[in-house]
Structure 1
Amino acid sequence: MPSTLRPAALLLGCLVATTACSDPAPKPQQPPAASQPAAPSPQTPPLVPAAPAPAPAAPSPLALSVNAAAFDPAAVTPEAKQAYLVRAQVLLDRAHFSPGVIDGQEGGNLTLALSAFQEAHRLTVDGKLSPAVWDALAADAAPVLTDYVITAEDVAGPFTPDIPKDDYEAMAKLPALGYGTPLEGLAEKFHMDEPLLRALNPGVDFSRAGTTIIVAALGADGLPGKVARILIDNSKGTLRAFGDDDTLLAVYPATVGSTERPAPTGEWEVNTMAPRPTYTYDPSRLTFGKPKGKLTIQPGPNNPVGSTWIDLTKDTYGIHGTPDPKLVNKRASHGCVRLTNWDAAELGAAVRKGAKVVFEGRAAR
C-alpha cells in the first residue's frame, strides 16, 4: 500500500517528511466442517516445510574473552587488548557516554567518552582507562555481549548498494538511501563497526534470517529523562544533553562545523525533530557542493543527514545523523552538528521543542 507523506518543515534546505503505512487486518476464516474435510484450493500451493534455522556458529576466541575481559594495559596480544576495549566501549555506551562506533580500538572518541565519564564520577580527568575507571564501569556487571537472532525484517531491505558518495545529483536519482547490506544495518543496530561484528561471528551469513549472531548487549532504549538543554563544545567535538534539573543525561562525540563553514556560537533553541528526513540541496542557500539546481534526496540511513534531523532556530543549522558513523568527530561537517545515527535518534526522541542549545568554544578545524 502506498505510504502517506506528511511534510513537516523546511530545514537546512531539508524537506522533512514522516512516513505512515497501515495494512488491513486479515479477515478471519471459518474452519471446515468436521464431517467434510476441506479439499485444498487449486490456487493454494502445497505447504513447503520451512528450512531449519542454521545452528549457531561456534563463538570466536574474541567473543569468548570479551565478557570476562579484565583491564590489563600490558595485554600481551592484540586480541586481549581488543577484548577489554570492546567491554569498556559497551559499558560506556550503556551509561550514555557514547564512544561513537564500538570497534575495540583506541581513538579520540573513546578518550572523550572516558574523560566525560571521569568528570561525572569525580575521578582524575585524563581520558585514560585506569583501574579506577575500570572499577566504576564494572559496577555494571551484566554481560556486554549477547546472542541475537537475525529477523526477516533485518534482511528484507530494500538495500541500496554502491551509493555515490558526495554526488548529490546521482543520489537524487535513487528511490531511497538505505543500508548497503544486511551487515551494515545490523552493525548500526548494535552501535558496532562491521569488522568487529565479523570478528565476533566468523563465517556467518548475515543475510540469512534465523541465524544466531553475537552482538553488543546495549542498555535500555532511550535516555533516562527529557532533554531541556544541549551544550555543544565546538573545540572538543562533544555534545552534552541535560535534563530539567541540569542533570547530565548523555555525552556524544560530534562533528562540529569546519574552517569554511564554522559552527555558530551563542544560544539557540530546538525548533522541531524529524525522523527519516529528506534532504534538499539548494544552491541559493548552501555554499558547498557542485550542483547548480535544487535537488531532493530521499530518506534513509545513508542520506546526507542520516536518519534523524533536529532543527535549530539558527537558520539552516541542525543536529543530525550521518551515513559514515566511523567518521564522526574525525572529518569536518558543513557547519551543522553531526552524530552517529543511533546517537542522533536517541537525542531526538528525548529532546523537547524549545530546549536550549548552547555552542561554546572555537572549532578546532
Structure 2
Amino acid sequence: MFRRFALAGFAAALLFLSTTPVVAAGLDAASINDAAAPPTRLPDRQQLSPSIARLEILLDRAHFSPGEIDGKFGENAQKALAAFAEANGLSFDKAVTADLWTRLVAASEGAAVVTYTIVDADVKGPFLNKVPVKMESMKDLPALNYTSPREALAEKFHMSEALLQALNPGQKFDKPGDSIAVANVLDTEKPAPVARIEVDKTRQTLRTFDAAGKLIAFYPATVGSTEKPTPSGTLKVTAINKNPTYHYNPKYKFKGVKSKRPFTIKPGPNNPVGVVWINLSGEGYGIHGTGNPGKISKAESHGCVRLTNWDALRVAAGVAKGTPVAFVESSR
C-alpha cells in the first residue's frame, strides 16, 4: 500500500513570472486532496490545477503513469487517462466522466498530497551547479548528480519542480527536519513480474503485460528519432544495469556530438541514460531513464526508449533476462 503521511495544511496562491506556469488560486494540499473530477472544460495547460494534480497522482498510483506530475492536463496525462479508461472498459474523449473518476479514485487509497519531512540524505549532495548540454562536456565530471535538493525531491515524488515549489512557497528544501507537501506516490509493493513489453513507436508509449496477457502498467515514452529510429520487431532484455556508466561510441554519429573517440560519462540521475539501463538484444538499444522528465514524449531519443527515471526503475524491477520487447506502430 502507499505510505500514509499526515496531511499538509499549506495555503498558497503563488504567481510565477510570465515564463512559468500560472498557479491556480488556492493551490495547496487541501485543494488537491479535496478536488472533484476535472470540469468538462479542462483547465488551460499553462495553469496548475488542483483537480489535474490529483488526477495525475491517482493515475501514477494506478500504474498508468502521466510521466512528470505537473498539475497540467498535457499530452502524457491524456495518454495515461485514455489507457486507464480502455483497461477498465470505459470510454474517454478528453472528458473525465463520473464513472471514470470513480474507478480511478477507487484504484488506490490515501490522500493525494501528504507531509514529508526532509532528511539528511535529501540535502547532502554533492550537487552540480549545472548539467552540461553537450555530452563531451559531461565526460570529465565525477558524477552526473542532481543540481539541487529541490530537483532531487521533485524526482523522488514524481513531480515537476514548479509544482513542488507551488505547494511549498518560500521553501528552499535545504534543511533536514522541515516538513513539505508532496505527492503521495511512494509505492512499497514489489512490481508484478513482467512477461512482455510493448513499445508503441507511433503513440510514444510503453506497456507491460503479465503472463496471462493482462496489462500491468502504462508509461509515456520518448521512442527514437528520424536520425536514429527505434528498431522494429521483437527484441529481448539481455541485462539490467542500475546507476549505469554511459559509453559513447563514435560510430553512433549522434547529432551534436563531434568526438571521434569513444568516451564515458559517470553515473548519476542526470546521466544521459538516467539511473537505470535495460539492455536489449539489438546493438546499442535499450530502455532507460533521463535527467529531463518533463521532456518525455516531447523530444527525440537516439533510437532507444526513454522513460522518467522512476518509471524506468519500475519497469526494471519487473523484467528479467529474456523478457520480450515488441516494437509496434499503431494508428493514432
Task: Quickly name the TM-score band, shorter chain normalised.
Answer: 0.7 to 0.9
1:202 aligns with 2:157: no
RMSD of Structure 2 on Structure 1 (CA):
2.2
1:332 aligns with 2:300: yes
Aligned equivalent of 2:217, options 250, 263, 285: 250
CA distance in 2: counterparts of 1:211 and 1:335, whole angstroms = 42
Secondary structure of the structure 2 residue equivalent to 1:352: coil
1:57 to partner: Cα distance: 8.0
Whether contact under 8 Å (2:43, 2:73) holds in the other structure is no
1:76 to partner: Cα distance: 10
Whether contact under 8 Å (1:150, 1:212) holds in the other structure is yes
TM-score, normalising length from structure 1? 0.80
Whether contact under 8 Å (1:222, 1:346) holds in the other structure is no
Identical pairs, percent? 46
Query: Which amino acid in structure 2 is aligned with residue 111 of structure 1?
Result: Q
1:211 aligns with 2:178: yes
Structure 1 runs not aligned, ≥5 long? 1-55
Matches within 5 A, 1:95-174: 95-139=62-106, 140-165=108-133, 167-174=134-141
Structure 2 runs not aligned, ≥5 long? 1-7, 13-25
Secondary structure of the structure 1 residue equivalent to 2:60: helix
Which deviates more from structure 2 when the two are superposed, residues 67-76 or residues 126-135? 67-76
User: Structure 1's 175 and 144: CA in aligned 2 closer, same or farther, altered over 3 A?
Assistant: same
Deviations 1:329-363 (CA, angstroms, capped at 9, x unpaired): 00011110000000001111111110010000179
Query: Which amino acid in structure 1 is aligned with residue 50 of structure 2?
Result: A
Which deviates more from structure 2 when the two are superposed, residues 113-122 or residues 133-142? 133-142
Whether contact under 8 Å (2:247, 2:262) holds in the other structure is yes
Whether contact under 8 Å (1:57, 1:204) holds in the other structure is no
Query: Which amino acid in structure 2 is aligned with residue 239 of structure 1?
Result: L
CA distance in 2: counterparts of 1:349 and 1:157, whole angstroms = 26
1:138 to partner: Cα distance: 1.7
Secondary structure of the structure 2 residue equivalent to 1:93: helix
TM-score, normalising length from structure 2? 0.88
Q: Which residue of 1 aligns with 2:3?
A: none
Q: Which residue of 2 aligns with 1:290?
A: 258
Task: Say which one has the larger Rg.
Answer: 1
Q: Deviating runs (4+, > 4 A) in structure 1?
A: 74-81
Matches within 5 A, 1:340-359: 340-359=308-327
Aligned length: 308
Secondary structure of the structure 2 residue equivalent to 1:101: coil
Deviations 1:128-175 (CA, angstroms, capped at 9, x unpaired): 42222111112135210110000000000111121211x122100100
CA distance in 1: counterparts of 2:43 and 2:87, whole angstroms = 32
1:322 to partner: Cα distance: 0.6
CA distance in 1: counterparts of 2:57 and 2:38, whole angstroms = 17
CA distance in 1: counterparts of 2:143 and 2:48, whole angstroms = 39
Q: Which residue of 2 aligns with 1:305?
A: 273
